Structure 1
Amino acid sequence: MTTKIGSGKTPSGGSESYLTSGVTFLRSQNVHFDGLRLDDVVYISEETHREMRGTRVKPGDVLLNITGASLGRVSRAPDNLGEANVNQHVCIIRPNAEANPRYLAYALSSQPVQEQISELQVGGNREGLNFEQVGNLAVPAAHTEEQRRIADFLDAETTRIDQLVAAKERASDLIDERRVALTSHLCLRGLDNGAERADSGVGPLGSVPEHWEVSRNKNFLMEVAELSADGTEELLTVSHLTGVTPRSEKNVYMFKAESMAGYKICQPGDLVINTLWAWMGALGVSHHRGIVSPAYGVYRFTSENMVPEYFDLLYRTPEYVCEMTRHSKGVWTSRLRLYPESFLALRSPIPPRSEQEQIVMILEQELEPGRRLQESIRRSNALLAERRQALITAAVTGQFDVSTASGRNVTDGVTA
């Protein structure tokens, strides 16, 4: 199955050359097994696109992620994609007349090929797969008409699975929307809807209950920079989704530094902010003792009147994230930095301690059922993904005749 293999590159201006409109520029986060996702796409200028003529994507090209956490994800470029280009983390595979693009995309996502890709990464190859390795992947072969039949069958059956997954994801999104709305309301408007309000003096936050204090963060938080002598403490990571968690509990694919001596020590109750991603709400109050990247800010509460969990919730509200973004330094959103002096100068609404405790307790009670349902949805969708790949693998490796087979049972027993 002869094909042409190439990849994209970063524009000469790097990420600072990205635009909000223009020619579609695909990155590894846009390439998924169920197709291209363009909700997080960036654009480049026509001039840059012309300069990158050798890395343009054509309809029918198969796109394979060859580096990073999404290594091995594969999509076929749809016929209606229009003008597009890719960066260097995406390999362009252009099938010849003997290879059906839809079949090739399915074959590359099958278990035998995905196992080959994983084996090539054993040892932590920082550079990812090269063109020679991609070209040497052993792909299940079939004659042209059989490829078409297999692709037609899998198009129909995977669409059914993908639609079910999408419906479950929409339900999960609704749970997130309720969580965000309820958290913002309680952390900024309080428990009594009839309470007198006063302007907080902080634009995005609006009015808050009149009896609440509004104070600069530096009045109840201080930056701490206690450094690890040998880096042997537990490594913690910070996410806008999960807050501060041990790295060992997460699927993190970024490479660790050879030595973590000099990393910042974090104590339970400390607030940790990812300086580079504060504009996304990547922060949280730690429940663990460990170490975090020197690029993170670590802050400790200096007043007993503060409930750390309340501020964990407050600082992740869209309103407060907007305020942090306003005071971050940088030209491009992806390059914004929230430095300690800027964060400590921000003002925060502070309910009485008893009210902080009530807000935390009520949110925990109200949001826990949604968390359980989302966990059930995640498990269900993970099972559907396994069944999707199993169906693809069986079809492309000839375990059944797609001309007579039906995939109607692939989702039996999978519920949210």
Structure 2
Amino acid sequence: MSLPRYQEYKNSGVAWLGNIPRHWEAVFLKRVIKAIDSGVSVNSIDTPAEENELGVLKTSCVYRGEFDPSENKAVIPEEHDRLACPVRAGTVIVSRMNTPELVGAAGVVRQNIDNLFLPDRLWQVHFKDAVPAYVHYWCQTPIYRAQVQSACAGTSSSMQNLSQDEFRRFVLALPPIREQSAIATFLDRETAKIDGLIAQQEKLIALLAEKRQATISHAITKGLNPAAPMKDSGVAWLGEVPAHWRVGKIQNFAKRESGHTPSRQHPEWWENCTIPWFTLADVWQLRTDNVKFVYETKELVSELGLANSSARLLPAGTVMLSRTASVGYSAIMGCDMATTQDFINWVCKPELTSDFLLYVLRGMRTEFDRLMMGSTHQTIYMPDVAKLMMGLPPIEEQAFIVSFLDTEITRLDALTAEATRGIALLKERRSALISAAVTGKIDVRLS
């Protein structure tokens, strides 16, 4: 979209703002703020409030750059009398305390919501001589973010606080009120178009993920020959498998090894460490499904440490599965390494290849979901791990299946990466359009 510039510009008087249209002003935010409401902290439950219940907003209600009233928690009845500041239309909700990336996040409220109230970490900002939607879009620009970061500098790196005094001293480029409305209307329309395109790409990524999982699951349970005679495996998640396949516990075809953590009370066990030691700090590598092999770990362990624990050095080619916290993720060891007790490891016997076992484990997502226990700290218990079943094709057929899946998964991952890049470009376009409109770099009044 090509849009004209304004005919005349002037120096804003603010170095980092640069030139603005001649009839605009560079003003402190306090000039257009009528009032700032603060909420209170109350006890609540995790589920959102129903229509007949009272709720308190979560700070996540503005995380995505828009106000999302569904991000709330129902307040327990005993706390109803303490609630303050109901959500009102024509205001902007601002996160005053949050992580460095999210402090200052904001969203415009477009309608009254009488049963929702503010917590103490959110502000509700009322304006005079300013269109709330215009201010909302300004809050999504790099110029706004830079002022937030400057105001919060020097505070905690994990949780930062934005003071009202600092917030009121922020500077924005302000056109006449009717022009603010025109800009907000333009941006409502154009960002909605971009958001629609982003939603399409996100839907495509979800479909590709489903296709990816279905492709793996079908190949490791049905094989590649649709005409092959089938038999009942006797295992619910496997269903029918090719008649010539063997069916049995994974530990029948691979030696099962659990990991361990040597005692930290013996510093000498942690000196001169050279052995890669896979821990929960490394589990992010397993969560990346297009990673087949892992080679590096954040921690190392010594030979003495291993000698005094029930863990042992496992050979390259061992297949590991996370069974605690991030449950059900897998990869192949690219080098000799050891693991903590949070992982189950299989050293394949001659009749089973590591690549095929990896795809088997990645095709068992629903089975792992069924076996997970615990609400806050989920795990798969060892007796359940010992019972895990699989279908085993002949070794040559395993190679064909692995080759097919490598090709198909690479193709699907490439399509996913392309869609992901498309989303990134659309978001960049969205951000640039908003920034250009609210700083006067483009004239949208006739658009």
TM-score normalised according to structure 1 size? 0.72
The answer as to 2:164 corresponding to 1:164 is no
The answer as to 2:270 corresponding to 1:229 is yes
How far apart are 1:111 and its partner, in Å?
A: 0.8
- Which of 437, 441, 444 lines up with 1:395 in the alignment? 437
The answer as to 2:323 corresponding to 1:271 is no
Change (3 A) 1:138 1:343: farther
Q: Give the number of aligned pairs.
A: 381
How far apart are 1:58 and its partner, in Å?
A: 4.8
Decide which moves more: 234-243 or 155-164.
234-243
Q: Distance in 2 between matches of 1:403 and 1:321?
A: 52
How far apart are 1:285 and its partner, in Å?
A: 0.6
- Which of 305, 309, 312 lines up with 2:358 in the alignment? 312
Native 8 Å contact 1:204 1:323 kept in 2: yes
Change (3 A) 1:174 1:323: closer
The answer as to 2:345 corresponding to 1:299 is yes
Q: Distance in 2 between matches of 1:307 and 1:389?
A: 48
Secondary structure of 1:96's match?
Answer: strand
- Which of 376, 384, 406 lines up with 2:426 in the alignment? 384
The answer as to 2:216 corresponding to 1:175 is no
> What's the counterpart of residue 412 of structure 1?
none
How far apart are 1:96 and its partner, in Å?
A: 0.7
> What's the counterpart of residue 321 of structure 1?
365
Change (3 A) 1:392 1:30: closer
Native 8 Å contact 1:216 1:346 kept in 2: yes
Name structure 2 gaps, 5 residues minimum. 1-28, 263-268, 303-310
Q: What amino acid does structure 2 have at the position aligned with 1:97?
A: F
TM-score normalised according to structure 2 size? 0.68
- Whichever of the two has the greater Rg, that structure is 2
Deviations 1:221-251 (Å, cap 9, x if unpaired)?
322337693689696324545365999x9xx
Deviations 1:22-55 (Å, cap 9, x if unpaired)?
47765639831366496xx686476488488348
Q: Distance in 2 between matches of 1:169 and 1:363?
A: 24
Secondary structure of 1:305's match?
Answer: coil
> What's the counterpart of residue 167 of structure 2?
135
Q: Distance in 2 between matches of 1:160 and 1:295?
A: 49
Q: What amino acid does structure 1 have at the position aligned with 2:440?
A: G
> What's the counterpart of residue 111 of structure 1?
142
> What's the counterpart of residue 32 of structure 1?
64
Native 8 Å contact 2:320 2:344 kept in 1: yes
Secondary structure of 2:346's match?
Answer: strand
The answer as to 2:386 corresponding to 1:344 is yes
Secondary structure of 1:382's match?
Answer: helix
Native 8 Å contact 1:225 1:298 kept in 2: no
Deviations 1:121-152 (Å, cap 9, x if unpaired)?
77894542214277367252425444323211
Decide which moves more: 284-293 or 159-168.
284-293
Decide which moves more: 78-87 or 390-399.
78-87
Native 8 Å contact 1:62 1:101 kept in 2: no
Q: Distance in 2 between matches of 1:307 and 1:188?
A: 16
Q: What amino acid does structure 1 have at the position aligned with 2:325?
A: L
> What's the counterpart of residue 409 of structure 1?
none
Q: Distance in 2 between matches of 1:295 and 1:44?
A: 39
- Which of 89, 92, 96 lines up with 2:122 in the alignment? 92
Q: What amino acid does structure 1 have at the position aligned with 2:324?
A: T
Native 8 Å contact 2:293 2:332 kept in 1: no
The answer as to 2:130 corresponding to 1:102 is no
Native 8 Å contact 2:259 2:342 kept in 1: no
Q: Distance in 1 between matches of 2:423 and 2:155?
A: 28
Native 8 Å contact 1:107 1:139 kept in 2: no
Change (3 A) 1:321 1:43: farther
Change (3 A) 1:205 1:37: farther
- Which of 99, 103, 113 lines up with 1:67 in the alignment? 99
Q: Distance in 2 between matches of 1:46 and 1:112?
A: 40
Q: What amino acid does structure 2 have at the position aligned with 1:173?
A: A
How far apart are 1:110 and its partner, in Å?
A: 0.2
How far apart are 1:381 and its partner, in Å?
A: 1.9
Please give the root-mean-square deviation of Cα atoms over the aligned residues, in Å.
Answer: 4.4
Q: Distance in 1 between matches of 2:216 and 2:112?
A: 40
Name structure 1 gaps, 5 residues minimum. 250-258, 407-416
Q: Distance in 2 between matches of 1:290 and 1:139?
A: 57
- Which of 216, 221, 225 lines up with 1:192 in the alignment? 225
Q: Distance in 2 between matches of 1:216 and 1:402?
A: 66
Deviations 1:34-90 (Å, cap 9, x if unpaired)?
66496xx686476488488348655554354832776665443453878557888xx
Q: Distance in 1 between matches of 2:157 and 2:293?
A: 23
Q: What amino acid does structure 1 have at the position aligned with 2:350?
A: E
Identity of aligned residues (%): 23
> What's the counterpart of residue 46 of structure 2?
18
Q: Distance in 2 between matches of 1:354 and 1:52?
A: 70
Q: Distance in 2 between matches of 1:373 and 1:66?
A: 35
How far apart are 1:335 and its partner, in Å?
A: 4.4
Q: What amino acid does structure 1 have at the position aligned with 2:345?
A: Y
Q: Distance in 2 between matches of 1:149 and 1:69?
A: 30
Q: Distance in 2 between matches of 1:152 and 1:132?
A: 30
How far apart are 1:379 and its partner, in Å?
A: 1.8
Native 8 Å contact 2:285 2:291 kept in 1: yes
Q: What amino acid does structure 2 have at the position aligned with 1:393?
A: S
